[in-house]
A and B are shown apart, each in its own frame.
Chain A
Amino acid sequence: MKAEPAIPRGPLDPRTIIAFYHVDLRYRDQTALADVSFSISNGEFVCITGPSGAGKSSVLRLITMDLFPTHGQVVVRGMVSTTMKRSRIPLLRREIGFVFQDFRLLDDRSIYANVAFAQLVVGVPQPAIKKNVMRVLTQVGLWDKRDRLPQQLSGGEQQRVAIARAMVNSPKILLADEPTGNLDPVTAQEIIDLVFRINDGGTCVVFSTHDHEIVKTFGQRVMVIKDGRLVSDEERRVPDRDRGPRLTDHMYRPGGSDA
């Protein structure tokens, strides 16, 4: 048996919003993550990349405390995975927005209802819900389409609804699990731009993708996970706030083949 690694002595850096300490995660005999340690600060933009099945989604699920480490500790917003009460997990999740590759919208409800749903379940009063939903749907440019059903929107628009839903409770963290996986490069770039704007507003973003082209567009910190191990964690310095090349850059280049 491996001893439980303790949180380092002394107070955590007050800027730290997510911290992994020697995290192992095993499903039966399979190792999903092995000795993963990192910390993410408030307002930071972090890209997690690696091949499919490398353990990216597991990292995100550990952050929402949907999974718990087999060994090690995860600390999110000061809540420690090894000591926190299970009944407090919903409170933690209210501070985390989550978007997925497959949008996960309620197909039988309007766009407005989909976004409002996230507020209803946590007990926000109706007048405030209307104000908040209007704010986020305007932010993602879909207020005019609020009465439509998800199926009446394009993939990119559906993902924007999902982002609006994730942001309506004003979370401190936005987790994006392959949010552009189902989208064409133009739409994917729009979603990435939207996520950048959210990050500019002060929300910490953890963006997971296996797509190298997308990673290249990021001028921030990129963590690479392979076979459950964190093999690289580097800060990129791009002076331009536009974060580097864009997915669509080579699309319009004469002779461009992979658009």
Chain B
Amino acid sequence: MLRRAQIGHLARESVAGFSRRKLTTGVTVLIMGSALLVLALFVLVALNLGIVLERAQASVDLRVFLVDGLDDQRVAALQPPFLALPGVREARFISKDQALAELRRDLGDDGDILGVLDDNPLPASYHLELAPAYRSTASVEAIATDLRRWPEVADVVYSQAWVGALETWTRLFRWGSLVICVIVLVAAVFVISNTVRLTMAGSRRIIEIQILVGATDGFIRLPFVIEGVLHGLLAGILAMGALAIGFRLLSLRLEGIEFYSAAQIAGFVLFCAVLGLLGSLAAIGQYLRVRRVG
């Protein structure tokens, strides 16, 4: 356990060391901050794509057009099997008349054009609303393929075929981001670990004397661990700050995009501190393994 006098000494040494090496600290924080900015940016874009995809998927529904000539009883009897389909939350019947009324409403002033029709050409249909988990293109397609085999069903139409494309792009982007993030993370840890190694090399004499006079390994390591964590914290704050400014400028032009929540920001900065910790531990482990007194 550290005594009070040791804690005070360590705190003074860490702060003094940090301010003594302003340039190294600045450059490290800048390099690591830039790397983490790339990471934060990719994660943010991935998150926003996810939101856009979710919104798009929310509007996905199935319209099941029925063959003409079904009597009311058969039409009504279709509702329970529709509801029994996996993922179908609601099945709303739209009669031929309702469909025509809807069309007329949609056409607005041009609705008069429908007056030329002798007969109502629109088929009766069921509107199937899907539970969120079943809104992916694959799932919707599976349900549609199944429904098309039903004798009562004339056709199945589902909106936004582009949702499928969006899903593909989002998936690709997420994988790409993951690869980039892993590279960036390794780079960030490497930068920190190199800086701490340099600091340790610069503090060779102090470390040597500490070993000589009987300082414990923990006591020797702690200032460098603190330094690594502080570097990580500062780089995380820098990255998040730069991203927030960039986002603010962009959000004036692009509506509907979202920034990280307060909890996510705190989590990110904390994560950066952990990266700093990992970097410094890697450096310390390597350095102290080869240390010698004489």
Which residues of A approach B to under 8 Å, CB–CB?
Answer: 57, 60-61, 64, 66, 87, 90-95, 98, 104, 106, 117-118, 120-126, 129, 165, 169, 177
With the chains together, A125 CA to B3 CA distance in Å?
Answer: 9
Residue picked from B3, B210, B212, most chain A C-beta under 10 Å: B212
Known contacts A104-B209, A118-B209; is-contact A93 B294 (Cβ 8 Å):
no
Assess the A121–B208 pair: CB atoms within 8 A.
Answer: no
- Residue A93 contacts which of B3, B206, B214 (CB distance < 8 angstroms)? B214
A123: chain B residues at CB < 8 Å are 2-6
A-B contact pairs, 22 of them (CB 8 A): A57-B294, A66-B293, A90-B214, A90-B217, A91-B214, A92-B214, A93-B211, A93-B214, A94-B214, A95-B214, A104-B205, A104-B208, A104-B209, A117-B209, A120-B6, A121-B210, A122-B214, A122-B215, A123-B3, A123-B4, A124-B5, A125-B4
With the chains together, A242 CA to B4 CA distance in Å?
Answer: 44
With the chains together, A87 CA to B216 CA distance in Å?
Answer: 8
Assess the A93–B6 pair: CB atoms within 8 A.
Answer: no
- Residue B213 contacts which of A93, A125, A126, A177 (CB distance < 8 angstroms)? A93
> B201-229 vs A: 1/0 string, CB under 8 Å?
00001101111111111010000000000
A163 to chain B, nearest CB (A): 13
With the chains together, A83 CA to B213 CA distance in Å?
Answer: 22
A50 to chain B, nearest CB (A): 16
Within 8 A of A (CB), among B1-34: 2-6, 9
- Residue A94 contacts which of B213, B217, B292, B293 (CB distance < 8 angstroms)? B213
With the chains together, A124 CA to B215 CA distance in Å?
Answer: 12
B293: chain A residues at CB < 8 Å are 61, 64, 66, 98
With the chains together, A87 CA to B1 CA distance in Å?
Answer: 13
A64: chain B residues at CB < 8 Å are 212, 293
Residue picked from A60, A61, A120, most chain B C-beta under 10 Å: A120
A166 to chain B, nearest CB (A): 8
Assess the A93–B2 pair: CB atoms within 8 A.
Answer: no
Assess the B216–A90 pair: CB atoms within 8 A.
Answer: yes
With the chains together, A93 CA to B208 CA distance in Å?
Answer: 12
- A-B contact sample (11 more), CB < 8 A, given A87-B217, A98-B212: A61-B293, A94-B213, A104-B205, A120-B6, A120-B9, A121-B210, A121-B213, A122-B215, A123-B5, A165-B213, A177-B294
Task: Please list the 3 inter-chain residue pairs (A to B) with the smallest Cβ-Cβ separation, ordered nearest first.
Answer: A123-B3, A94-B214, A93-B214
With the chains together, A200 CA to B198 CA distance in Å?
Answer: 44
Residue picked from B208, B209, B211, B217, most chain A C-beta under 10 Å: B209
A87: chain B residues at CB < 8 Å are 216-217
- Residue A106 contacts which of B205, B214, B292 (CB distance < 8 angstroms)? B205
A233 to chain B, nearest CB (A): 22
Assess the B294–A60 pair: CB atoms within 8 A.
Answer: yes
A170 to chain B, nearest CB (A): 12
Within 8 A of A (CB), among B175-209: 205-206, 208-209
B214: chain A residues at CB < 8 Å are 90-95, 121-122, 169
Assess the A121–B6 pair: CB atoms within 8 A.
Answer: yes
B45 to chain A, nearest CB (A): 47
A125: chain B residues at CB < 8 Å are 3-5
A95: chain B residues at CB < 8 Å are 214
> B66-104 vs A: 1/0 string, CB under 8 Å?
000000000000000000000000000000000000000
With the chains together, A121 CA to B9 CA distance in Å?
Answer: 8
A121: chain B residues at CB < 8 Å are 6, 9, 210, 213-215, 219
A57: chain B residues at CB < 8 Å are 294
A60: chain B residues at CB < 8 Å are 294
Nearest CB in chain B to that of A107: its residue: B205
With the chains together, A123 CA to B215 CA distance in Å?
Answer: 9
Assess the B294–A126 pair: CB atoms within 8 A.
Answer: no
B208: chain A residues at CB < 8 Å are 104
With the chains together, A129 CA to B206 CA distance in Å?
Answer: 19
A168 to chain B, nearest CB (A): 9
B115 to chain A, nearest CB (A): 95
A112 to chain B, nearest CB (A): 14
Assess the A66–B213 pair: CB atoms within 8 A.
Answer: no
A94: chain B residues at CB < 8 Å are 213-214
With the chains together, A92 CA to B215 CA distance in Å?
Answer: 10
Assess the B216–A93 pair: CB atoms within 8 A.
Answer: no
With the chains together, A94 CA to B219 CA distance in Å?
Answer: 14
Nearest CB in chain A to that of B20: its residue: A108
With the chains together, A60 CA to B216 CA distance in Å?
Answer: 20
Assess the A66–B294 pair: CB atoms within 8 A.
Answer: yes
Assess the A61–B294 pair: CB atoms within 8 A.
Answer: yes
Assess the B213–A169 pair: CB atoms within 8 A.
Answer: yes
Assess the B212–A93 pair: CB atoms within 8 A.
Answer: yes
A115 to chain B, nearest CB (A): 10
B210: chain A residues at CB < 8 Å are 121
Assess the A122–B213 pair: CB atoms within 8 A.
Answer: yes
Assess the B211–A126 pair: CB atoms within 8 A.
Answer: no
A106: chain B residues at CB < 8 Å are 205-206, 209
